Amino acid sequence: MHEAPSADELVASALAEDLGVPAASLLAGGDPSVLARDVTSSAVVPAGVRFSGVVRAREGGVVCGLPLAASVYAMLSRAAALSEPVEVYPLVAEGSAVRGGEAVAEVEGEARAVLAGERTALNLLSTLSGIATEARRWADAAGGLTVTDTRKTLPGLRALSKYAVRVGGAANHRAGLHDMVLVKDNHLRWAGGVGEAVRRARENVPGLLVEVEADTLAQAVEAVRAGADLVLLDNMDDAELAEAVSAVREAAADAGRSVRTEASGGITFERLAGIAATGVDRVSAGAITLARPLDFGLDEEDR
């Protein structure tokens, strides 16, 4: 069971884009006039009428984001000071695989409020379900290989994107720049080499995992000898990966410790089987969090 991260500020910003109001006003709540910002619904839909409808997947995939869709309507209901909030009733569990045409949630409430939040709720559901679907596809095809995401996420959607990756069955890499050291080629130029970069990392941020990006077999071995916890084998073909993994394990055994390996750079879904055969511990791919959104629609039930 994966708990969705808190996203009030993101939800407020997304609603504010559609309604043309400051996000802060939505967070503050208590303004019945906010629904009038949906000029089409306020002009066409009578005040006070009820909406009862169903969210359906228009294509097959993994559902992710139902709690966020509910958060959209909870915030909009508070912002508009509705006496009865719009309710979202999930019909499937978060992370469920669904077919095209399958209903995933029911939505009930004041029609103007439902329509005002429709696109924001569906955008979040579609985006996160697309990521979860791609994560499930990669994880299922990887066998025993651990598949992780990267920091290649849409700005502002990092925490939710990584949540969707977990819902889909893949794993998260570091959350950001703050929770793990990852020494890359530009860092090595300034540090003067792998050994000095690892030494500085251990000295200045003790307690954090240290990973070193290696473009060559020699760099990979040097990273192990310098004390890295993980070695990222960057832009290598399968033969180079296999050789580097073997060299890292040999160097780690000589040092009397365990060092994990990661393949990254130029990773495609079609390469998974070949990469898994190299013995590398995990693979990271930006394609997962940049996946195409899954299509959903909200349709009112016949009255």
**Catalytic residue list:** 119, 152, 184, 213, 234
How far is Cα 250 from Cα 268, in angstroms, rounded to an integer? 28
Please list the residues that pair with 50 across neighbouring strands: 110
Q: Which are the contacts of 269, defined by CB distance < 8 A and separation ≥ 6?
A: 137, 138, 141, 287
How far is Cα 168 from Cα 153, in angstroms, rounded to an integer? 16
- CA 190, distance to chain mean position in Å, is 32
